[in-house]
Amino acid sequence: MGILDVEIVKGYIRLTEDAVAKGWHERNGGNFSYRMKPEEVEETRPYFRTPGEWQEIGTSVPGLAGEYFMVTGSGKFLRNVTLAPQDNFAIIELDETGTKYRIVWGLEKGGRPTSELPSHLMNHEVKKQVTGGKHRVILHSHTPNVIALTFVLPLEDEVFTRELWEMATECPVVFPDGVGVVPWMVPGGRDIAVATSELMKKYDVAIWAHHGVFCSGEDFDLTFGLMDTVEKSAEILVKVLSMGGKRQTITPDNFRDLAKDFHVTLPECFLK
């Protein structure tokens, strides 16, 4: 029995495989974090090493003080997570102020957590609060069709939500709250983390213009499934636009009927 036999670790690795197979993670593109449950920390603790030094997160997440996360390494290729998990992701512990982290497992050949750690942790902090602790997964992927759309659609939440909803009937059921859009910003810092986590108060999906997508969810299946649904819908829209645009579509009243039967609330701001 080793840490790689622990169910939650197996699930974490499987998501990276699935996301790489989708073509969302060229080179070191994208990153992935999971907020561990206390019992999962205890299951993996026997394999922890003497912790490294406390390091600055680069932002403050007091709502996550003392929590443990599985997180991919900066500059590490997601396709290598399966081959050498111990070198490509880490388990980190946050300090009691929520401003520092230290590595307790993994990244054995050196390195540090993803450069997007501020965004991941600020998103986790918001989601922990607004979902009463249910959401635990944040996935950042470089999904080609969503990225392509950020060059042609207005960078507005209402436009992206409505267009993506129209491209697949199940979309409004999968992400009834809609999607948010962050204009182009320098990645890897606190400013983009603040902008993204602000959108995460309302949405489970935040699109980074000309860069990629952040998705939040309760577990690996739901979060991967959400990213997959958004990207597939974007792919359909790219095809539709390439064929000359829509000749017919799902109407606002169709969406209202769907909402009734599927017991979801669709904000009227997306149905104008």
Query: Does residue 111 touch ligand 13P according to CB under 6 A?
Result: no
Q: Which residue has the tokens 């500059």?
A: 75
Q: How many other β-carbons are positioned within 10 Å of the β-carbon of residue 242?
A: 8
Show the binding pattern over residues 40-79: x = contacts ligand 13P (CB under 6 A), - = does not.
Answer: --------------------------------x-xx----
3-state SS class at 9: helix
In angstroms, give the least distance from the CB of 74 to ligand 13P.
3
162, containing H or E segment: helix 157-166
Report yes or no: 121 and 59 within 8 Å, Cβ to Cβ: yes
- To the nearest whole angstrom, how small is the minimum distance from the Cβ of residue 174 to Zn ion? 23
| Burial call 184-194: b when 16+ CB within 10 Å, e when fewer | ebeebeeebbe
11 binds ligand 13P (CB under 6 A): no
| DSSP element (H, E) containing 31 | strand 31-35
Question: Any contact of residue 88 with ligand 13P (CB under 6 A)?
Answer: no
CB nearer ligand 13P, residue 61 or residue 213: 213
Instruction: Compute how many residues bind ligand 13P; rule: CB under 6 A.
Output: 11
Give 77-145 as a DSSP string: -GGGTTT-HHHHEEEEEE-TTSSEEEEEEE-TTS--B-TTHHHHHHHHHHHHHHTTT---EEEEE--HH
Nearer Cβ to Zn ion (32/165): 32
Span interacting with ligand 13P, options 22-30, 103-111, 151-159, 252-260, rule CB under 6 A = 22-30
**Is residue 114 involved in binding ligand 13P (CB under 6 A)?**
yes
Residues 115-134: x/- map of binding to ligand 13P (CB under 6 A)?
Answer: xx------------------
- Among the options 67, 116, 166, 235, which is catalytic? 116
Kindly list the catalytic residues: 116
